[in-house]
Amino acid sequence: MLRGAAAAAARRCGLGPGAGRAQAGARRCSGAARRRQWAPPAGRDSGIVAYNSRSRSKEPLVLATEGVATWYSCGPTVYDHAHLGHACSYVRFDIIRRIMTRFFGIEVIMVMGITDIDDKIIKRANEMNISPVALARIYEEDFKQDMAALKVLPPTVYMRVTDNIPLIISFIKTIISSGQAYATSQGNVYFDVNSWGKRYGVLTAVNPDTQDEAADSDKRHGKDFALWKAAKPQELSWNSPWGKGRPGWHIECSTISSAVFGKQLDIHTGGIDLAFPHHENEIAQCEVYHQCEQWGNYFLHSGHLHVKGSQEKMSKSLKNYITIKDFLKRCSSDQFRMFCLRGRYSSAVEFSEESMEDAKNLLQAISSFIRDANAYIKGQLVCDPVREDILWERLANTKVTVKAAFADDFDTSRAVAAIMDLIHHGNRQLKAVTKCFLNRMLDLLEALLCMEALFPILKAFSVPLGCPLRKDRWLWEETSLQCCPMSLRSW
């Protein structure tokens, strides 16, 4: 059964545990022999165009419920400290979430799965001589602290794998009874990829007939993947119809997302390395379980974070990573957010000292402008007459450009460029403008600052949390990260 926040999220979506569940013994999904094209979903256009990995092109973002986006985010496997590669993905999607909420008025209902049982967790727990459950709880809390330090909003609800084992077993039983999975004599359960035909390969061009070089001995085919893993000696396990064991990786996310959202999911996100096999396998599992033609209408993937001079992504396996905690000892979360804002979320990005210095310089330029503008408003700058009609036009054009950039696949790099152009022009004209124009210009910056999707000017840059841009207009509150009273009517 779903409890607490998960149940509340399900009710908000008009769903509940098991919503959209296929009947036991249901027939195979129709059209299993053909590869399907992405079908635009029914619903309301959000005004945003996003690159959809399912269709491999930009598509209008259509939401099933007007003003509400259902969103599943792949969460961490909690066996070690999170690193900057993880941070880059989560910060980028946090920016997108804030844009959707603040600029397009969309309520986001986000579920994040926490993988708290896994081969890596078991191995690390054995090395540390503690239980896998204890290890997972330590690093789950560690992950949440890192996200808070990066100012990433928490999801509507976190859901652990180990809290949902009965639901996962039920999910697997339905897939078996539909004919797309099989149990082996060794107690494993596998998804039968060949039985799914050309429907397998939605996100990537995969030939299900191709054999993997290292196929498990009790698999029928090399591409088949585990839904349930038989327990090894002394390994944490749960009882199931197939014997003691634990879930496979892919089935966890399918079950958790379906438990809250049923067969209707607007957005699914994760790093590009999760597209195959993880997200591909999630789609196959869910479309069998729900007996539907299209599960997950939009898949958004963030690009890799590369270390300078290397084409390899930052990862623990390559031992080329920097933990979030170590990074925050020498740089601020605001600098990292600006670093992320300067590129497209879906593109690979190179991390270097130079790129972080560039981000810092941009933040300092914004902070300097705000200080000078405040000085002017206080009457501490002498003014000469200027063409205010030109300044008003620039301000209006910048607003339009920023909104259009956000609507075009969340193009933050274009929005940043537009804002910086406005600030640079404002700096040149600062001594010759009226208070009215400066107030309106600060309105623009405040609107962006309040959503923390652009320019979080914080303590590191002499604008402490709770510090007003001008008298009685507070930027945000330290404890809640919520915007304080401010008019956004012009947006």
* Residue of higher predicted confidence among 252 and 435: 252
Structure-block tokens of residue 48: 């945003």
Tell me the C-alpha to C-alpha distance, in Å, between residue 407 and each of 302, 323, 444, 487.
17, 33, 17, 22
Degrees (nearest 5) of the Cα angle 133, 135, 140?
95
> Contact 100/38 with Cβ under 8 angstroms?
no
The owner of tokens 């020498």 is 330
Compute the distance between CA of residue 144 and CA of residue 304 in angstroms, rounded to an integer.
Answer: 21
The pLDDT confidence band at residue 464, using thresholds 50, 70 and 90, is very low
Closest CA to 90 of 162, 135, 9, 149: 149
Q: What is the pLDDT of residues 214-257, one digit of tens each?
A: 455 799 999 999 999 999 998 999 999 999 999 999 999 999 99
The owner of tokens 């004209």 is 429
> Contact 2/259 with Cβ under 8 angstroms?
yes
- Please name the helix (run of DSSP H) or strand (run of DSSP E) that holds residue 473, with its range, or none: strand 473-474
Pairing mode of beta strands 225-230, 245-247:
antiparallel
Where does 39-118 have alpha helices with state H?
84-104
Pairing mode of beta strands 68-77, 349-351:
unpaired
Where does 183-228 have alpha helices with state H?
none
Side-chain-side CA neighbours of residue 163 (13 Å): 15
Main-chain dihedrals φ then ψ at residue 70, nearest 5 degrees: -90, 130
Compute the distance between CA of residue 266 and CA of residue 97 in angstroms, rounded to an integer.
Answer: 13
Compute the distance between CA of residue 302 and CA of residue 24 in angstroms, rounded to an integer.
Answer: 37
The pLDDT confidence band at residue 15, using thresholds 50, 70 and 90, is low
Compute the distance between CA of residue 173 and CA of residue 162 in angstroms, rounded to an integer.
Answer: 18
Q: What is the pLDDT of residues 26-83, one digit of tens each?
A: 333 333 334 468 999 999 999 999 999 999 999 999 999 999 999 999 999 999 999 9
Q: Which residues of 298-334 are buried (b: 16+ CB within 10 A; e: fewer)?
A: bbbbbbbbbbeeeeebbebeeeebbbbeebbeebbbb
Compute the distance between CA of residue 412 and CA of residue 403 in angstroms, rounded to an integer.
Answer: 10
Mean pLDDT of 185-190: 97
Q: What is the pLDDT of residue 429?
A: 74
Compute the distance between CA of residue 114 and CA of residue 74 in angstroms, rounded to an integer.
Answer: 8
The owner of tokens 């869910």 is 286
**How many other CB atoms are found less than 10 A from the CB of residue 117?**
24
Is the pLDDT at 122 greater than 90, yes or no?
yes
Compute the distance between CA of residue 273 and CA of residue 455 in angstroms, rounded to an integer.
Answer: 29
Is the pLDDT at 443 greater than 90, yes or no?
no
Flag the least confident range among 37-51, 205-219, 257-271, 459-473.
459-473
Q: What is the pLDDT of residue 223?
A: 92
Q: What is the pLDDT of residue 116?
A: 97
Handedness of CA 269, 274, 276, 278 (dihedral sign): negative
Mean pLDDT of 92-100: 98
* 214: exposed, middle or buried (Cβ count in 10 Å: 0-12, 13-18, 19+): exposed
> Contact 258/286 with Cβ under 8 angstroms?
yes
